[in-house]
Amino acid sequence: MNKQHVFTRAIRTIAVLAALFLLFSCGGSSRSTGQTYKPGTYTASAKGYHGDVTVAVKVTKNKIAAVRVLEHGETPGISDLAINGIPKAIVASQSLAVDSVSGASFSSKAVITATTEALTQAGADIDKLMVAGQSAKKEKDETLTADVVVIGAGGAGMAAGVSAHQNGATVIILEKMPKVGGNTISAGGAMNAVDEGSETALKNKDSVALHFKQTYEGGDKKGDEELVKTLVENAWDSVAWLQSMGMKFLPDPFTVTGGLWPRAHKPVDPVGTGFFKTYNAYIESNKGIEVRLNVKADSIILENGKVTGVIATGKTGNKITVKANKGVVVATGGFGQNIAMRQEFNKAWPTLDESVKSTNHPGATGDGIAMAKAVNAQLVQMENIQLLPLGDPETGSLSGNIETDVEKRIFVNTEGKRFVDEGARRDTMTLALFKQPGAKLWIIVDAHSYPQGTKKNNFNESIDDLVAAGRAFKGETLEELAKNIGVPPENLVATVADFNKHVASKKPDAFGRTLFSEPLDKGPFYAGARIPTVHHTMGGIKIDKETHVIDVNGQIIPGLYAAGEVTGGIHGTNRLGGNALTDITVFGRIAGKNAATGK
Ligand code: ADP
């Protein structure tokens, strides 16, 4: 089977489908759209997620000859498929009825809207170009075979696939979305790991034992000790493994929100994109490993007590049977976007119905949990669902966040008063937030965090962009800031004065906060609104430390492995910030290796 670069493959798939679609909507008789254009090149812009997306559209008398995105500020890695694939699909199908890319719908819409505007200038009949075609012709059913089949091309699945391949296996990774990445690609990008005994670890008074203690105790000692031990003991080796494949990290670890200690290693590439750049480069330069996009796994094949493959559905509804000579790895991520499951298992939060948003990508629907359950897998700690207090009020995503070191910010409610230790565990902060008016907080920072308006967050957004878009607010003084966000100025001034006293004394404050660095005393001051948002589902499939899936009777299900957010029992009641990327990399690697070697 030919190995394809995953993005190229997705782009080609979209293009082919769109072309087919038009062909069939025209009765299959002709590719002509009957359109006439004023020949020339037209440019137009439309709003994307981060400012304008500008396209140039070249038309001849009766053809859209080329569509090119000239400028955009969309997040690299996340928007690539929309920015590169949609123009090609429009040209291939000679139509505007092309699919948006899930997970990049704003960027997709911007490309389509700007192209529509440019084609209007060219005198096109837009209504005709917008006619949605019939669904594409069903592709043939097929059977594929590999040594190891991985379900899900997020961080855990890609780690498992690459690791299986490095251990001699041929690998097929199935991904139901049109792109790789899952939640991981938009993750904050902090990976906890201790390089035991190194200068940095000594300087930060850090150790693998402390990482264990904080992870285990941070989850109220409900995590499986063996799994936690496996996590922390293999964390640094996993960073080194990624580095060995070319991934770059910033030199100094930092304290990520809810991470409790400066041990989070931040990739140089934005958000989680560095992981996929690294894995894609490996897949591109090796034979015998491929990612199949737009293929949704439906069930796990169990024959005579052993897992032997996966039944899946292709984009056109065709059945794809994928046989696994050695093993199947379930790496489908969590169920943060499955409201029925959230409601079914939630015990800790006032509600997790549709009123509560999520940071998760749309594909986080718990499919792997259902598939594993159907072959008798045991599920553990499903009620442990993590929320963050840092969701965008409109979308629940982490974009728009005013990022800074935990030490340098405070949270205030709409009264301008602090209500929690901002360095506390994520659940503590979010439960406290639910109790505030409107369950809304303002992050407050000053010029110590943002010395220049051009400083960007993880999502490539500068604080100036956020202020201009009304997603953050600025004041030269605290009073001005308070007026701009509608909180009583005297309260905000008093809150900050009290906070600054503790910064000076370094004594724990009324909320138990102990992490301090600089005072909030240097204008300009900035504020951004945030709400509770579902972030990580910590329960899931029970595994042992070798990532074997354990059944309801406590026995290993032969041939079945699981890794990443789909598994349960590692993080207990509360996952430390920065431990997810460690989890998916450590356990993904183990799953891939064991599936390849039959361990
Ligand atoms: P993790 O962090 O555990 O790797 P992610 O959310 O990053 O989790 O990745 C999980 C991936 O699995 C996502 O890309 C998601 O679209 C994919 N996925 C989920 N369900 C299925 C399924 N039924 N078939 C194929 N891929 C799936």
* Same domain for 211 and 355: yes
Question: Higher model confidence: residue 110 or residue 50?
Answer: 110
What atom of ligand 1 comes closest to residue 566's alpha carbon?
3
Instruction: Find the 536 Cα to ligand 1 centroid distance in Å.
Output: 13
Mean pLDDT of 364-390: 97
Q: For residue 19, is pLDDT > 60?
A: no
- Does residue 351 fall inside a structural domain? yes
Is the distance from CB of 63 to CB of 123 less than 8 angstroms? no
The amino acid at residue 544 is D
Structure confidence at residue 598 (pLDDT): 94
* Same domain for 163 and 18: no
Cite the beta strand spans of 49-130 per DSSP E: 51-59, 64-71
Order across the sheet with 40-48: list the strands.
Answer: 40-48, 51-59, 64-71
Structure confidence at residue 135 (pLDDT): 41
* Same domain for 362 and 329: yes
Collapse the DSSP code of 217 into the 3-class scheme (helix H, G, I; strand E, B; otherwise coil) and give the result.
helix
Instruction: Find the 88 Cα to ligand 1 centroid distance in Å.
Output: 26
pTM exceeds 0.85 for this model = no
Structure confidence at residue 222 (pLDDT): 96
pLDDT band at 33 (very low <50, low <70, confident <90, very high): low
Q: For residue 250, is pLDDT > 80?
A: yes
Instruction: Find the 244 Cα to ligand 1 centroid distance in Å.
Output: 25
Give the tokens for residue 351.
């509600």
Total residue length of the chain: 599
pLDDT-wise least confident of 20-24, 212-216, 253-257, 344-348: 20-24
496-514 per-position pLDDT tens digit: 999 999 999 999 999 999 9
pLDDT mean across residues, the chain = 90
Question: Higher model confidence: residue 62 or residue 105?
Answer: 62
Considering the candidates 9, 292, 426, 589, report the single residue annotated as catalytic.
426
537-593 per-position pLDDT tens digit: 999 999 999 999 999 999 999 999 999 999 999 999 999 999 999 999 999 999 999
315-332 per-position pLDDT tens digit: 889 999 999 999 999 999
Give the tokens for residue 311.
């039944």
- Angle, helices 86-93 vs 105-121, to 10°: value is 50
Structure confidence at residue 459 (pLDDT): 80
* Same domain for 301 and 178: yes
In angstroms, the CA 437 to CA 431 distance is: 13
Q: Name the β-bridge partners of 388.
A: 533
* Same domain for 300 and 332: yes
288 HSE (CA, 13 A, CB side): 12
Mean pLDDT of 330-349: 97
- Does residue 5 fall inside a structural domain? no
Structure confidence at residue 96 (pLDDT): 85
Mean pLDDT of 439-462: 92
Structure confidence at residue 131 (pLDDT): 63
How many CB atoms within 10 Å of residue 2?
6
> b vs e for 230-264, b when ≥16 Cβ sit within 10 Å of the residue's Cβ?
bbbebbbebbebbeeeebebeeebbbbbbbbbbbb
Structure confidence at residue 65 (pLDDT): 94
Probe target for ligand 1 pocket from 6, 7, 162, 176, with the most ligand atoms within 8 Å of CB:
176
- Residue ending a domain, among 480, 502, 533, is 533
Structure confidence at residue 282 (pLDDT): 98
Probe target for ligand 1 pocket from 6, 81, 163, 175, with the most ligand atoms within 8 Å of CB:
175
* Same domain for 162 and 116: no
What atom of ligand 1 comes closest to residue 312's alpha carbon?
24
Domain region containing 330: 144-384+538-597
* Backbone phi and psi for residue 390, each to the nearest 5 degrees, phi listed first: -125, 30
Ligand 1, residues at Cβ distance < 6 Å = 151-157, 174-177, 182-184, 296-297, 331-333, 363-364, 367-368, 564-566, 584
Q: Atom 8 of ligand 1 has which residue's CA nearest to it?
A: 333
* Same domain for 501 and 447: yes
Structure confidence at residue 8 (pLDDT): 41
Q: For residue 3, is pLDDT > 70?
A: no
In angstroms, the CA 542 to CA 310 distance is: 19
CATH number at residue 547: 3.50.50.60
- Residue ending a domain, among 71, 106, 129, is 129
Structure confidence at residue 15 (pLDDT): 43
Is the distance from CB of 353 to CB of 338 less than 8 angstroms? no
How many CB atoms within 10 Å of residue 34?
9
Structure confidence at residue 74 (pLDDT): 84
Place of tokens 């996590």: 231
Residue 513 designated active-site: no
- Angle, helices 489-505 vs 478-485, to 10°: value is 130
In angstroms, the CA 64 to CA 35 distance is: 9
How large a percentage of the chain has pLDDT more than 90?
Answer: 74
Is the distance from CB of 150 to CB of 173 less than 8 angstroms? yes
The amino acid at residue 75 is T
What atom of ligand 1 comes closest to residue 563's alpha carbon?
3
In angstroms, the CA 312 to CA 255 distance is: 41
Structure confidence at residue 457 (pLDDT): 87
Q: Atom 19 of ligand 1 has which residue's CA nearest to it?
A: 332
Nearest to 66 by CA among 4, 122, 140: 122
CATH number at residue 45: 3.90.1010.20
* Same domain for 290 and 212: yes
Structure confidence at residue 331 (pLDDT): 98
140-188 per-position pLDDT tens digit: 999 999 999 999 999 999 999 999 999 999 999 999 998 899 999 988 7
Q: Atom 16 of ligand 1 has which residue's CA nearest to it?
A: 363
* Backbone phi and psi for residue 45, each to the nearest 5 degrees, phi listed first: -125, 155
- Does residue 291 fall inside a structural domain? yes
Domain total for the chain?
3
Probe target for ligand 1 pocket from 276, 313, 332, 397, with the most ligand atoms within 8 Å of CB:
332
Collapse the DSSP code of 81 into the 3-class scheme (helix H, G, I; strand E, B; otherwise coil) and give the result.
helix
Q: Atom 9 of ligand 1 has which residue's CA nearest to it?
A: 154
Q: Name the β-bridge partners of 296.
A: 313
- Does residue 393 fall inside a structural domain? yes
Instruction: Find the 175 Cα to ligand 1 centroid distance in Å.
Output: 7
pLDDT band at 136 (very low <50, low <70, confident <90, very high): low
CATH number at residue 429: 3.90.700.10
Instruction: Find the 42 Cα to ligand 1 centroid distance in Å.
Output: 39
* Same domain for 270 and 172: yes
Instruction: Find the 329 Cα to ligand 1 centroid distance in Å.
Output: 11
What atom of ligand 1 comes closest to residue 296's alpha carbon?
24
- Does residue 136 fall inside a structural domain? no
Nearest to 443 by CA among 483, 478, 409: 409
Instruction: Find the 160 Cα to ligand 1 centroid distance in Å.
Output: 12
Instruction: Find the 564 Cα to ligand 1 centroid distance in Å.
Output: 9
Q: Atom 27 of ligand 1 has which residue's CA nearest to it?
A: 152
What atom of ligand 1 comes closest to residue 177's alpha carbon?
16
Structure confidence at residue 309 (pLDDT): 98
* Same domain for 328 and 266: yes
Structure confidence at residue 179 (pLDDT): 87
- Does residue 19 fall inside a structural domain? yes
Q: For residue 306, is pLDDT > 90?
A: yes
Q: Alpha-carbon torsion 312, 316, 319, 324, what sign?
A: negative
- Does residue 454 fall inside a structural domain? yes
* Same domain for 334 and 284: yes
pLDDT band at 248 (very low <50, low <70, confident <90, very high): very high
Is the distance from CB of 151 to CB of 174 less than 8 angstroms? yes
* Same domain for 392 and 379: no
- Residue ending a domain, among 499, 533, 567, is 533
Instruction: Find the 369 Cα to ligand 1 centroid distance in Å.
Output: 11
Cite the beta strand spans of 231-305 per DSSP E: 264-265, 289-292, 296-303
